[in-house]
Copies of this chain bind each other. A is one copy, B any other.
Amino acid sequence: MKSTGVTIADVAREAGVSPMTVSRSLREPARVSAKSRERIAEVIERLGYVPDPAARALAAGRTNVIGVIIPSVTNNVFSDVMRGIYGVIENSPWQVQLGNSRYVAETEEALTRTFLSQRPAGLIVSGVDQTRKTRELLINAPCRVVQIMELGEAPIDMMVGFSHREAARVATQHLFDKGYRRPAFLAARVDPRTKRRMAGFEDVVRTAGAFDPSRILATSAPSSAALGRTLMAELLDNAPETDSVLCNNDDLALGALFECLHRGIDVPNAIGICGFNDLEMMAVAYPTITSVKTYREEMGRIAATMILETLKGIEPEEPVVDLGFDVMSRQSTAKLL
């Protein structure tokens, strides 16, 4: 059944030591004499021994699994975060276990329960909107927990993210600073982060006395450039006084731009466009597109690093990391004044 079939006992016998010494030389080499260590290493190499993680987990009462719970595998934002996580974990003895909550709180709770029952080495969860029960599970978790994506009031343990509301505020203010007066907001499937961005948009627009609900478009469809075109078309038809759009992400922004190009609308002079996330493409589009740069891969990297460090007994200097954001001002909002 097993491919290699080599167990720790085989290695021990061959190296002339007890299984315990082999086990130690693998996990705490400093506690084994150099001579034994070398001999054991040689035998391991020769026999092609690979420790059985299941046996190890059962005996040690913990696994080498770092659980990651995200609400979507479709959303590129999470692919970027995962990339950051994988980058850190790839060359460590730990492994990632991915769970997809599909934006359903009950699923998230079930996943949390399942993950915890596996005694993970650490847990990375998305957002701050867990159910009370999930929160409780995580607070009592026998491992460290990092919340990613956003910042919030009461961190369960550690946290890496940025303020979506503040980012949207700054982006909206950017539109006003560039001379736009009647900005709209486009969003696809509304998740908690989107809600906060929408709130940030509203904050600034209300302050400027330019609030108009007909310039806020959201749908339940998943985000795409095609949807960006559709929403933009709808916006132009129903709220023709609109002079700029803040898009909840860059797919929508690209779609919005394409719709304008198709209609022969002058971007940025007739319509200004600002995206969110700053995909690599925004800087090379024609015209180049203003976007709020977010640090998604870095978020994953830092979260994973925090887990690995605490596993080594090193506490992070700051348990809550604000990665911030940057509005990358480009041609799509460079209106002639």
Which A residues are closer than 8 A to B by beta carbons?
A: 1-4, 48, 50-55, 57-58, 61-63, 73-74, 76, 79, 82-83, 86-87, 90, 95-98, 100, 113-114, 116-119, 137, 140-142, 224-226, 228-229, 251, 254-255, 257-258, 261-262, 280-281, 283-286
In whole angstroms, what is the CA distance A97 to B100 when docked?
Answer: 14
Jot down 25 A-B pairs with beta carbons below 8 A, ordered by A: A1-B62, A1-B142, A2-B142, A3-B116, A3-B117, A3-B141, A4-B116, A50-B114, A51-B117, A52-B58, A52-B117, A52-B118, A53-B118, A54-B57, A54-B118, A58-B58, A74-B83, A76-B79, A224-B280, A224-B281, A226-B280, A226-B281, A251-B281, A255-B284, A257-B286
* Neighbouring B residues of A62 by C-beta, 8 Å: 1
* Neighbouring B residues of A284 by C-beta, 8 Å: 225-226, 228-229, 255, 258
User: Which 10 residue pairs are nearest across A and B when measured between Cβ atoms?
Assistant: A54-B57, A50-B117, A261-B286, A3-B116, A225-B281, A54-B58, A1-B61, A258-B286, A54-B54, A79-B79
Contact B140 A3 (CB under 8 A): yes
**Which of B50, B51, B61 is the one whose CB lies under 8 Å from A2?**
B61
**Which of B3, B63, B255 is the one whose CB lies under 8 Å from A142?**
B3
* Neighbouring B residues of A114 by C-beta, 8 Å: 50
User: How many copies altogether?
Assistant: 2
Shortest beta-carbon distance from A97 to chain B in Å = 6
* Neighbouring B residues of A73 by C-beta, 8 Å: 82-83, 86-87
* Neighbouring B residues of A286 by C-beta, 8 Å: 257-258, 261-262
Contact B119 A2 (CB under 8 A): yes
Q: Check A119/B3 contact, CB under 8 A, given A58-B54, A226-B280, A254-B281.
A: yes
* Neighbouring B residues of A97 by C-beta, 8 Å: 95, 97
* Neighbouring B residues of A116 by C-beta, 8 Å: 3-4
* Neighbouring B residues of A96 by C-beta, 8 Å: 98
A83 to B, closest residue via Cβ: B73
* Neighbouring B residues of A63 by C-beta, 8 Å: 54
